[in-house]
Amino acid sequence: MTRWTIHSGADFGLAIADMRRRQGLTQAQLAEQSGLTRDYLAHLETGRTSRSLDHIMRTLRRSGATVTVSLPDAQAEEASHRRIGDT
The domain made up of 2-80 has a fold known as 434 Repressor (Amino-terminal Domain) (1.10.260)
CA distances from 6 to 29, 65, 68 (A): 24, 10, 6
Q: Which is higher by pLDDT, 53 or 37?
A: 37
Q: How far apart are CA 53 and CA 10, in angstroms?
A: 10
Confidence grade of residue 48 (pLDDT, cut at 50, 70, 90): confident
DSSP state of 8: S
pLDDT of residue 76: 52
Q: In the chain, what are the domain boundaries?
A: 2-80
Q: How far apart are CA 59 and CA 19, in angstroms?
A: 25
pTM: 0.74
Q: How high is the mean pLDDT of the chain?
A: 84
